[in-house]
Amino acid sequence: MSFEKLNLSPSILKALKAEGYTQPTPIQEQSIPVILERKDLLGCAQTGTGKTAAFALPILHLLDSDRTKQAARKEIRALILTPTRELAIQISESFEAYGKHTSLKHLVIFGGVSAFNQINSLRSGTDILVATPGRLLDLMAQKAINLQHIQLFVLDEADRMLDMGFINDVKKVIAKLPAKRQTLLFSATMPSEIAGLANSILRNPSKVEVTPVSSTAEKISQSVYPVDKKDKASLLLHLLDNKEMENILVFTRTKFGADKLAKLLNRANVSADAIHGNKSQNARQKALTNFKSGAIRVLVATDIAARGIDVEELKYVINFELPNQPETYVHRIGRTGRAGNSGTAISFCDLEEQEYLRDINKITSQTIPVVDNHPYFVVGRAMTHAPAKPAANKGKNAKRRPFRPKKKAFASN
């Protein structure tokens, strides 16, 4: 199945091509036709399944062909409600990427930052609004937002909203939406509260369900390398001595970190380039093309730029830094082990990242094996954080340390 078969407009198809998406994921294949028919949808899917594009693409398509006066006035016609600031930003970035050849505007609002700029941006009008519930209600109360013209409403991660205690806020928002609208509700699980909410807000919905992402990890051999932050580059170079590791995708947390690492690798005679959101589309495309053709051995990427990276038979993913969102780990390692191939995912983990590792092990229901026979293995570092009264905190401290090496195999240098 190709995206062309889904009847999306040429401007959207062009953007998808630039993202490197060749075919729709199962949730996209099932949801897009339903949404384009203007039906309500109940989706059982979680982050990492391609869910964002499953709703963003048809929304962009429908709104871009809307010729009403609300469209001309840039009234808010689509609202996406999501629980966290990170998800809101991620969704907004997806609208940016997929909608860049349309004339549609999108805006993202969330709490924890000043509302001033958000209110100013809202004044000049927007077609699509991505919001977290608290800030949305806040700005609605200040009359900075009018939801009267909403045609499409997406309730994303409904079960997480429930966990985070947002469900009453969500209900307050829904109460202000026009009764005549199209509603799309996504949830990874269907606890009775969500099923009840779904029944009350959806009209004759089509149901789609896809397998959770966690299953992708099964084909991938995963390991964790405990290492001091300062030794990470040396450890990477040590691993790269293995010439069998041909094309390697390395993830860093920041754009700056990606650039710095690519330069360091080049200086060490390893061909590498960085790809991240601050680079021009041309530079990103060039780096990706060179990586795919084998002209460069290492591509250093941030999560934002990692979107759409689909390299055939990519065998190695290295997490130079662990992501603070455990789902991101699943996305990242899912770049390898595609289409039935096997893959290897190596994660460097310093002391500060142990917490992230714990979250990753939790959501993927596994304990990633620890590799201790490497020259930069770090042991006992958690002790430097030991509180003044170790005895009193012993239990707590022990629990906070996922690595419990039996022997001091190598000292960190």
Q: Which residues bind ligand AMP (CB under 6 A)?
A: 21, 24-25, 28, 47-53, 307-308, 310, 331
Q: How many CB atoms lie within 10 A of CB 170?
A: 20
| Beta-strand relationship, 272-275 and 316-319 | unpaired
Calculate the CA dihedral of residues 31, 99, 273, 241 and round it to 10 degrees. Answer: -10
Paired tokens of 108:
């993202």
Question: Helices (H), strands (E): how many in the chain?
Answer: 17, 13
**In whole angstroms, how close is the CB of 305 to ligand AMP at the nearest point?**
10
Rounded Cα distance, 61 and 396, in Å: 52
**In whole angstroms, how close is the CB of 250 to ligand AMP at the nearest point?**
16
Q: Is the CB of 58 or the CB of 226 nearer to ligand AMP?
A: 58
**In whole angstroms, how close is the CB of 310 to ligand AMP at the nearest point?**
5
**In whole angstroms, how close is the CB of 398 to ligand AMP at the nearest point?**
35
Give the count of alpha carbons within 13 A of 178, CB side only: 14
**In whole angstroms, how close is the CB of 106 to ligand AMP at the nearest point?**
15
Q: Is the CB of 47 or the CB of 222 nearer to ligand AMP?
A: 47
The residue behind tokens 């001309």 is 72
Calculate the CA dihedral of residues 336, 337, 343, 348 and round it to 10 degrees. Answer: 50
Q: Is the CB of 212 or the CB of 405 nearer to ligand AMP?
A: 212
Q: Is the CB of 68 or the CB of 281 nearer to ligand AMP?
A: 281
**In whole angstroms, how close is the CB of 173 to ligand AMP at the nearest point?**
22
CA distances from 78 to 61, 74, 178, 334 (A): 12, 11, 12, 30
Phi/psi of residue 356, nearest 5 degrees = -65, -40
Rounded Cα distance, 310 and 306, in Å: 9
Q: Is the CB of 199 or the CB of 254 nearer to ligand AMP?
A: 254
Q: Is the dihedral of CA 351, 215, 58, 35 positive or negative?
A: negative
Rounded Cα distance, 336 and 216, in Å: 9
**In whole angstroms, how close is the CB of 247 to ligand AMP at the nearest point?**
18
Q: Is the CB of 21 or the CB of 329 nearer to ligand AMP?
A: 21
Q: Is the CB of 232 or the CB of 255 nearer to ligand AMP?
A: 255
**In whole angstroms, how close is the CB of 319 to ligand AMP at the nearest point?**
15
Q: Is the CB of 106 or the CB of 331 nearer to ligand AMP?
A: 331
**In whole angstroms, how close is the CB of 347 to ligand AMP at the nearest point?**
18
Phi/psi of residue 300, nearest 5 degrees = -100, 125
CA distances from 383 to 90, 141, 314, 396 (A): 37, 50, 38, 12
